[in-house]
Structure 1
Amino acid sequence: MQTQEIIEKLQGMASEKYKANVVKMGIPEECSIGVSTGDVRKLAKDVPKSNELAHELWETGYHEAKLLAVLLFDKKQTSLEEAAALMEDVISWDLCDHLCKNLIIKLKGYECLIPQWGESEKTYEKRAAFTLIASAAIHEKKLAGETLDHYLELISEHSADEREHVKKAVSWALREIGKRDFDYNEKAILLAHELKASGDKTQVWIAKDALKELENLVKVEGRSRLISAKSKMGAEK
């Protein structure tokens, strides 16, 4: 399947209503086709992995083509530098998270990008640092305690960034670390209270947002991570 054929397929799947939603996220109208991420994933199942095709789709500039491209990269043939370079073109939180969760975190050495991007002035590189932390806390079962402690330090260090798409990712990272176990739940809650006591508007927002979840987590048999008490009650009904 060639690039132009894929673009035509995406255009055939388009919805003006969904396109309007995408534009609201900040994607220029001329770069949006109007296809949901779910439909992009369905299409990806019918297209063979190919880094060449993935790069061609990315270069079209279409948001949905970039979402699809991320899913078509062969992880075994993709360097960390190659994947990280894609972040320079990212202009929305959804593509940032999609790229981090579906490609970058699956590459060897991804963790070196976390402190590097944590210092970045670019909104989506900085968001990516905390998206990677959140994703690692969820999926990397063998993360060392010293690594998690370092991530908590990074969260504390960068928690005064008032940009919406950064502060939401910082809160997300803190919450996911706090769901690891009761030890890290306690550490995350302590950090949240420190942020709340700082008086900084952004840090207070992050603390309150995180504590809504962190202070209501329980252990459920058969699950390695903590879940919200509300989720447990819903599952038992």
Structure 2
Amino acid sequence: MNTQEIITKLQEMASEKHKANVVKLGIPEENSIGVSTGDIRKLAKSIEKSNELARELWETGYHEAKLLAALLFDKKKTTMEEVKALMQDVISWDLCDHLCKNLIIRIKGYENLIPEWAESEMTYEKRAAFTLIASAAIHEKKLSEDVLDNYLQLIREHSADERDHVKKAVSWALREIGKRDFDYNEKALLLAHELKESGGKAQVWIGKDALKELENLVKVEGRSRLISSKSQMGKTSRS
């Protein structure tokens, strides 16, 4: 399928319900088609990866086409310069996270973007830094203590940002580091309490939000990461 055929296919898959949801994210109505992310993922499986096609889809300006494009870029052929250019166009938290989790974290050297974007004044570049930290904490099994400690320091340094979409990503990053093991659960708990007890408004919110999860984690056989005791209790009650 070429770009126009894909756009036509997306329009055929659209619903007013999903379009309303996209508009609620702050996407202009003229850039919204109205297709769920799940359906976009299914469509992506039927299309061969192509950076040329992905760029064309991205440049249509449609939100759903950008979500699809993120799944069609070949990580081995995508440069850091291209990734930075894509992020300049991001105006919603869902596209930010989708781009980070499905493309950027799979590109060699992505970790170099984290300290750079953490310093950015742009909302979604800054959110991307902490989305990448959260994603790395989940999926990168061999992260060193030095790297994780540096990520905790970035969280501390940037926890005063009061922008909603930034502070939520900072909390997410802190929680995911705290799920690595009991050593990092303790470190994350100490930082969360520090923010809650001696921080500003955004820091208090992050500390409280993170503690809801960090204080209720348990180790389960067969799982490499800690999980919520509430999740485990629910599983036990159903068995």
User: Take 1:122 and 1:27, find their aligned partners in 2: how far apart are those partners?
Assistant: 17
Q: Give 1:231 shift.
A: 0.8
Q: Which of 81-90 and 147-156 deviates more?
A: 81-90
CA deviations 1:138-169 (Å, max 9, x no partner) are 00000000000000000000000000000000
Query: Which residue does 2:100 correspond to in 1?
Result: 100
Contact 1:118 1:154 in 2 (8 A): yes
User: Take 2:201 and 2:79, find their aligned partners in 1: how far apart are those partners?
Assistant: 39
User: Take 1:122 and 1:170, find their aligned partners in 2: how far apart are those partners?
Assistant: 15
User: Take 1:168 and 1:199, find their aligned partners in 2: how far apart are those partners?
Assistant: 16
User: Take 2:8 and 2:30, find their aligned partners in 1: how far apart are those partners?
Assistant: 15
User: The residue matched to 2:42 in structure 1 has which SS?
Assistant: helix
Contact 1:84 1:104 in 2 (8 A): no
Q: Give 1:198 shift.
A: 1.6
Is 1:60 the equivalent of 2:60?
A: yes
User: Take 2:79 and 2:119, find their aligned partners in 1: how far apart are those partners?
Assistant: 22
Instruction: Figure out how many residues of one structure are paired with residues of the other and give that number.
Output: 237
In structure 1, give the amino acid aligned to 2:115: P
Is 1:155 the equivalent of 2:155?
A: yes
Q: Give 1:12 shift.
A: 0.3
Q: Which of 3-12 and 79-88 deviates more?
A: 79-88
User: Take 1:180 and 1:213, find their aligned partners in 2: how far apart are those partners?
Assistant: 13
Query: Which residue does 2:26 correspond to in 1?
Result: 26
Query: Which residue does 1:171 correspond to in 2?
Result: 171
User: The residue matched to 2:160 in structure 1 has which SS?
Assistant: coil
Query: Which residue does 1:143 correspond to in 2?
Result: 143
Q: Give 1:199 shift.
A: 4.1
Contact 1:54 1:72 in 2 (8 A): yes
In structure 1, give the amino acid aligned to 2:176: E
Q: How does 1:70-219 map to 2 (within 5 A)?
A: 70-219=70-219
User: The residue matched to 2:46 in structure 1 has which SS?
Assistant: coil
Q: Give 1:80 shift.
A: 2.1
User: Take 2:74 and 2:196, find their aligned partners in 1: how far apart are those partners?
Assistant: 43
- TM-score normalised over the length of structure 1: 0.99
Q: Give 1:234 shift.
A: 1.5
In structure 1, give the amino acid aligned to 2:206: I
Q: Identity over aligned residues, as a percent?
A: 82
- Output the aligned Cα RMSD: 0.6
In structure 1, give the amino acid aligned to 2:50: S
In structure 2, give the amino acid aligned to 1:7: I
Contact 1:100 1:132 in 2 (8 A): yes
- TM-score normalised over the length of structure 2: 0.98
Gaps of 5+ in 2: none
User: The residue matched to 1:17 in structure 2 has which SS?
Assistant: helix
Query: Which residue does 2:15 correspond to in 1?
Result: 15
Query: Which residue does 2:6 correspond to in 1?
Result: 6
